[in-house]
Amino acid sequence: MASRRPLLALLQDLQQALEDCFETWRPASRAGPERLQLGVELLCKLEEQLLYPALKRSRDAAWPALTEAMGDVERLRELSRRIDGAEASHRALLVGTLEGMARLHFEALQALLRDADPAGMPWAALEHEMRALLRRWRAEIQQHGEIEDEDGDPVGQPPR
């Protein structure tokens, strides 16, 4: 059975990078919240595309905590999107709320991974897939400044 430690370490590194974005973001700075929003989107996509399907397959029974975590991802995304249209005086409040929600979500995600059936989770494959997605998304960010929207880009046509 493959160890879950490399995957957990990678997730913790990503979570720490997002927390660093929260630490360095300042509402009065000329830099926008793009890096912060990109970090939120990156973690949400990793969870949706890799972790949640694997967690679902690891158990036969309903898993309310997983359903809640999936809902958290949508709430995190929505709050992140609201930052752009918010008045400057409200941005700090939105970012603070987003930061608190993200930290609670990280704790819930760690609990889900702890509670997953160790034999039913493809730990090494998940880590490998996660690293591959991260490489792809980093290239997209360098080339386009964002992660491709698989849902928004028409199938069969090049992105953007």
Q: What is the pLDDT, as a whole number, of residue 114?
A: 92
For the purposes of burial, counting CB atoms within 10 Å of the CB of 31, is it exposed (0-12), middle (13-18) or buried (19 or more)? exposed
| pLDDT at res. 61 | 86
Residue 129 — pLDDT band, cuts 50, 70, 90?
A: very high
How many Å apart are CA 54 and CA 44, to the nearest integer?
15
Residue 148 is predicted with a pLDDT of 79
**Residues near 34 by Cβ (< 8 Å), separated by ≥ 6?**
145
Most confident of 29-38, 76-85, 112-121: 76-85
In one letter, which amino acid is 114?
R
Reported as a pLDDT band with limits 50, 70 and 90, residue 155 is: very low
Distance of CA 114 to the CA centre of its chain: 18
Which pair of tokens denotes residue 95? 């970012």
Let me know how long the chain is.
160
Of 67, 57, 54, the residue nearest 108 (C-alpha): 67
Tell me if 92 sits within 8 A of 99, measured CB to CB. Answer: no
48, 73 contact by CB (below 8 A): yes
Tokens of 70: 């999936």
Q: What is the pLDDT of residues 10-21, one digit of tens each?
A: 999 999 999 999
Q: Which residues fall within 8 angstroms of residue 5, CB to CB, at 6 or more apart?
A: none
> First CA to last CA across the chain, in angstroms?
41
Distances from the Cα of 105 to the Cα of 69, 109, 111, angstroms: 7, 6, 10
Question: pTM (2 decimals)?
Answer: 0.85
**Mean pLDDT within 128-145:** 92
